[in-house]
């Protein structure tokens, strides 16, 4: 059994509860338990990426420092902080690399952290849960834990941007990634390739220019359907929200009737590995995935 210091971030506690709960459940089954770190704060999100202002990097550095202490209390825990959200992963990785390479940046941040009785010692690595599954757990072990192979599920693996960019934060090859495909395959699902697997979902434009998101999502879903997919698997809460909510909107406007349910990769794992269905919080999805799962006799 290995325990990992897990940093949730805001989305996982609000509109992606199913993502977190399914992840925690399967992590236990795979002997790679995610244990929530105490006293965490916002990852710092987009602020850290658009500015070189060190103030903006205090939040992520404090997480790294606290996680480092948390690791000491866990069982067989490597010096790694694990994230589920693509944005948190990207933010923490970028900042971690940046301050590790530049002592002059870390020094003033650590000076500020003294008020919290924290000091970051450059001893942590940031890992996305997908990296843990691929590199530490291994697909073989996942395959062994599959109780109900996802037969009939034709998944289009959608990456979006933050898992693959920027260069310091990418978890796989930015041009032709394979981690989601390999994982889904080990769960028994059929992989459907569509060229728009990293096409932008519209991202934060959902806040001010919804029409942009609408156009993007339409293209992505159209292309996936043409390729023969009946479900989409994602890793990012924002991608999930955009793809999910916009499809529902299109249905309401009468543009589209055939909707593709959106799954987090951990939800697919939970189903395949026989976890109770309610941990997925499918009731919070705009498109109810249960319909498809019932049709395929997976629940």
Q: Under the criterion CB under 8 A, does residue 276 sit at the interface with another protein?
A: no
- Restricted to residues 154-173, the positions that interact with another protein (CB under 8 A) are 173
- Under the criterion CB under 8 A, does residue 190 sit at the interface with another protein? no
- Report which of 143, 180, 145, 154 is spatially closest to residue 292, judged by C-alpha positions: 154
Interface with another protein, residue 176, by CB under 8 A: yes
| 254 near another protein (CB under 8 A) | no
For residue 226, the tally of other CB atoms under 10 A from its CB is 10
Nearer to another protein, 165 or 248 (CB): 165
φ/ψ of 82, rounded to 5, equals -105, 135
What is the residue whose two structure tokens read 């500020």?
112
Whole-number Å distance between alpha carbons of 119 and 163:
28
CB of 200 to another protein, least distance (A): 11
User: 20 to 79, contacts with another protein by CB under 8 A?
Assistant: none
Instruction: Kindly state whether residue 195 participates in binding another protein, applying the rule CB under 8 A.
Output: yes
Q: Which is nearer to another protein, 174 or 251 (CB)?
A: 174
Our finding on whether 174 is near another protein (CB under 8 A) is yes
Number of residues that bind another protein (CB under 8 A): 11
Binding range to another protein, per CB under 8 A, among 87-95, 178-186, 192-200, 264-272: 192-200
Question: Please, what is the minimum distance in Å from the beta carbon of residue 155 to another protein?
Answer: 18
CB 271 within 8 A of CB 293: yes
Residue positions counted in the chain: 299
* Comparison of 195 and 276: residue with beta carbon closer to another protein: 195
Contact at 8 Å (CB) between 59 and 41? yes
Contact status, residue 273 vs residue 147, Cβ threshold 8 Å: yes
* Structure token pair of residue 110: 């650590």
Q: Which C-beta is closer to another protein: that of 15 or that of 223?
A: 223
In sequence order, which residues have a C-beta less than 8 Å from that of residue 124 and are 6 or more positions away?
64, 67, 68, 71, 79, 80, 81, 96
- Sheet strand arrangement including 262-264: 190-192, 154-157, 231-234, 262-264
Which residue in the block uniquely carries the two structure tokens 């202490």? 69
The binding track of 208-247 with respect to another protein, each residue x by CB under 8 A or -, is ---------------x--xx--------------------
**Contacts of another protein in 94-153 (CB under 8 A):** none
Binding site for another protein (CB under 8 A): 173-176, 193-196, 223, 226-227
């Amino acid at each position: 059994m290995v325990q990992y210091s897990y940093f949730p971030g805001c989305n996982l506690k609000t509109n992606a509860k199913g993502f977190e709960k399914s992840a925690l459940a399967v992590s236990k089954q795979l002997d790679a338990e995610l244990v929530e770190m105490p006293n965490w704060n916002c990852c710092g999100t987009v602020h850290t990426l658009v500015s070189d202002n060190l103030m903006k990097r205090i939040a992520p550095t404090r997480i790294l420092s606290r996680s480092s202490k948390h690791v000491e209390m866990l069982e067989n825990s490597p010096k790694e902080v694990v994230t589920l959200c693509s944005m948190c992963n990207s933010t923490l990785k970028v900042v971690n690399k940046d301050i590790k390479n530049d002592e002059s940046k870390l020094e003033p941040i650590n000076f500020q952290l003294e008020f919290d009785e924290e000091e970051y010692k450059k001893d942590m690595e940031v890992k996305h849960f997908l990296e843990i599954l691929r590199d530490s757990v291994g697909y073989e072990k996942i395959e062994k834990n599959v109780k109900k192979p996802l037969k009939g599920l034709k998944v289009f693996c959608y990456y979006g941007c933050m898992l693959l960019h920027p260069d310091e934060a990418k978890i796989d090859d930015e041009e032709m990634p394979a981690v989601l495909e390999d994982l889904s395959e080990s769960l028994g699902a059929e992989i459907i390739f569509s060229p728009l697997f990293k096409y932008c979902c519209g991202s934060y434009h959902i806040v001010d220019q919804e029409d942009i998101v609408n156009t993007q999502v339409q293209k992505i879903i159209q292309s996936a359907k043409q390729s023969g997919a009946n479900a989409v698997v994602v890793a990012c809460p924002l991608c999930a929200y955009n793809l999910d909510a916009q499809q529902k909107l299109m249905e309401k406007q009468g543009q589209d009737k055939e909707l593709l349910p959106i799954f987090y990769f951990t939800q697919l794992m939970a189903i395949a590995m026989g976890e109770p269905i309610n941990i997925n919080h499918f009731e919070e999805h705009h498109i109810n995935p249960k319909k498809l799962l019932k049709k395929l006799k997976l629940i």
